[in-house]
């Protein structure tokens, strides 16, 4: 596979330096600040249909620039459009710039013939649209259709201490978060709670897609002997993406939505949230936690 990537250093950093006015102790003063960048990335599928070369827009996602290749691979996989890296022939990045303005950021993804049926019949479901007619049960049924892995049992594999320390381990490595305060992270850990890799982005879904793309590139599929840790709350789509990679355990600093909880429960995944230094909530999959005596 060929990657034709024009690297813009201003984009790759994921951070923008700006001038602000700060109020502190009753006084206003000028100050330099760092904020997380958010830029649109258009993903376009390119494939041959007979003698015709087709360019089909797939998505425009607002993301923090950097690690775009993993983001694209993870997004296409989590959407069920590709099943492996073999489906991707080439990725060409195109940036149209006017000074510091980014007018266009497009990734042209050349796909193999095996993907064409899935691309031509593409009908994405947007769960965030309350008027689209997709109820909770329908959303779960659609998600379950794309799941290739059953979460590994791993009885008693994690202790309470390991669970409570995982978010802190992830947080210590979050460079963009420490510099901007406005960023999400997804991290993959082994069963000894050693951080293997993590991804950051202004969008929590993008961070998960970047992590998924890394897992696919590094042959960690399924991630059946690993733990996924989120820096914030857990939505339905994040659990769906975690399921597609085969994670048996998901830990999150924040709370899950009721639909995320239901999807994890039906799939046999362990979902643990509201993790603090001395407490956490178990929403499903109690058997993977050791010393789980309930009072």
Report d(CA 113, CA 149) in Å as an integer: 25
Residue pair 46/108 in contact by the 8 Å Cβ criterion: yes
pLDDT of 295 reads: 62
Kindly state the average pLDDT of the residues 128-142: 54
State the Cα–Cα distance between residues 75 and 208, nearest whole angstrom: 9
Question: How many C-beta neighbours within 10 Å does residue 2 have?
Answer: 10
132 part of the active site? yes
Q: What is the pLDDT of residues 241-278, one digit of tens each?
A: 999 999 999 999 999 999 899 999 999 999 999 999 99
Element (H, E) at 264: helix 258-267
pLDDT confidence band for 96 (50 / 70 / 90): low
pLDDT at 24: 85
Closest Cα to residue 171, out of 227, 230, 117, 244? 230
Percent of the chain whose pLDDT exceeds 70: 83
Q: What is the dihedral of CA 85, 71, 262, 195, to 10 degrees?
A: 90
- Spatial contact of 252 and 264, defined as CB atoms under 8 Å apart: no
Please give the pLDDT value at position 35: 81
**Between 76 and 12, where is the model more confident?**
76
Rg of the chain on CA atoms, in Å: 20
Q: Sheet containing 52-63: give its strands across.
A: 2-4, 88-98, 101-111, 39-49, 52-63
Q: Which of 57-61, 75-79, 122-126, 174-178 has the lowest mean pLDDT?
A: 122-126
CB atoms near residue 166 (< 10 Å): 25
141 vs 30, more confident: 30
pLDDT value, residue 13:
66
Q: Residue 294 has what pLDDT?
A: 66
Higher pLDDT, 293 or 81: 81
In this predicted structure, the answer to whether residue 112 has a pLDDT above a threshold of 60 is yes
Residues 47 and 169: their CA atoms lie apart, in Å, by 42
The pLDDT score that the predictor gives to residue 188 is 98
Q: What angle do CA 236, 203, 211 make, to 5 degrees?
A: 80
Which residues lie below 8 Å from residue 19, measured CB to CB, with a gap of 6+? 30, 31, 32, 33
In sequence order, what are the residues at sequence separation of 6 or more whose Cβ sits closer than 8 angstroms to the Cβ of residue 250? Answer: 227, 228, 229, 230, 234, 238, 239, 242, 264, 269, 270, 271, 272
User: Peptide bond preceding 74: is omega within 30 degrees of 0, i.e. cis?
Assistant: no
- Average pLDDT across the chain, whole number: 85
Q: What are phi and psi of 199, to 5 degrees?
A: -135, 145
Give the residue extent of every domain in the chain. Answer: 2-120, 136-288
In tens, the pLDDT along 5-29 reads: 433 333 346 888 888 788 888 888 8
pLDDT at position 175: 84
- SS percent in the chain: helix, strand, coil, step 5: 30, 35, 35
To the nearest 10°, the Cα dihedral for 224, 228, 82, 12?
-140
Residue 5: per-residue pLDDT? 41
State the pLDDT at residue 137.
62
Which of the pair, 101 or 257, is modelled with greater confidence?
257
CATH superfamily membership of 136-288? Cytidine Deaminase, domain 2 (3.40.140.10)
The catalytic position among 97, 132, 135, 215 is 132
């Amino acid at each position: 596979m060929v990657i034709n990537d024009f690297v813009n250093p201003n984009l790759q950093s994921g951070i923008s330096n700006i001038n602000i006015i700060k109020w502190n102790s009753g006084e206003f003063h000028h100050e330099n600040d760092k904020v997380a960048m958010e830029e649109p990335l258009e993903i376009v599928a390119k494939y041959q249909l007979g003698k015709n070369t087709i360019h089909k827009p797939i998505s425009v996602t607002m993301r923090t620039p950097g690690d775009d290749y993993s983001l694209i691979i993870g997004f296409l996989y989590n959407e069920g459009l590709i099943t492996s890296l073999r489906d991707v022939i080439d990725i060409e990045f195109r940036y149209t710039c006017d000074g510091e303005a980014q007018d266009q950021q497009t990734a042209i993804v050349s796909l193999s013939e095996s993907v064409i049926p899935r691309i031509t019949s593409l009908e994405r479901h947007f769960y965030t649209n309350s008027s689209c007619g997709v109820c909770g049960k329908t959303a779960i049924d659609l998600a379950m259709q794309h799941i290739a892995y059953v979460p590994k049992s791993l009885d008693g594999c994690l202790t309470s201490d390991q669970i409570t320390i995982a978010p802190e381990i992830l947080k210590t490595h979050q460079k963009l978060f420490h510099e901007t305060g406005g960023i999400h992270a997804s991290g993959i850990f082994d069963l000894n709670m050693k951080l293997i890799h993590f991804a950051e982005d202004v969008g929590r879904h993008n961070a998960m897609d970047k992590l998924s793309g890394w897992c696919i590139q590094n042959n960690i599929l399924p991630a059946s002997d690993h733990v996924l840790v989120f820096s914030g709350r857990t939505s339905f789509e994040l659990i769906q993406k975690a399921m597609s990679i085969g994670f048996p355990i998901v830990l999150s600093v924040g709370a899950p939505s009721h639909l995320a909880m239901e999807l994890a429960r039906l799939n046999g995944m362990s979902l643990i949230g509201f993790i603090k230094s001395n407490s956490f909530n178990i929403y499903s999959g109690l058997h993977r936690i050791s010393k789980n005596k309930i009072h």
